[in-house]
Amino acid sequence: MIPLFMRLSIQTGSGKSAFRLWIPLILVWLLLFGLFLLLLPILILADCILLLGGFRFLLTKIAWFPLGLFGEMGGTEVHVSGKAGAGTRSVDISIV
């Protein structure tokens, strides 16, 4: 299942959330899918030319790799905290 949302939260030292943002990744997926459909005929043509030249280098396999990588990002959480100025701050990123 591809991740649909990314939640970004920045907290100050008192524990209050200073900034929270939900990013809809489904819009990014739609743009990437459209780009992939535009590039697919070019990749297939390049594969055919390379195959006729004797190379067994498939560009379409390379094009599928980012789709699988992004699909496995669901459930990823990143927590970063540190001291900045007078207090501590933390940044939390969750991909749902």
Residue 86: pLDDT band (50, 70, 90) is low
Distance of CA 35 to the CA centre of its chain: 15
Query: What pTM does this model have?
Result: 0.65
Q: Which residue has the higher pLDDT, 34 or 2?
A: 34
Q: Is 57 exposed, middle or buried (0-12, 13-18, 19+ CB in 10 A)?
A: exposed
Summarize the confidence of residues 14-32 as an average pLDDT. Answer: 84
* CA distances (Å), origin 88, targets 7, 10, 40: 20, 11, 48
Q: Name the average pLDDT for the chain.
A: 86
Query: How would DSSP label each residue in 13-60?
Result: TTS-EEEEEEEEHHHHHHHHHHHHHHHHHHHHHHHHHHHHTT----HH
Q: For residue 38, is pLDDT > 90?
A: yes
Q: Total domain count for the chain?
A: 1
Q: Which of 33-37, 61-65, 92-96 has the lowest mean pLDDT?
A: 61-65
- Domain ranges, residue 64: 5-95
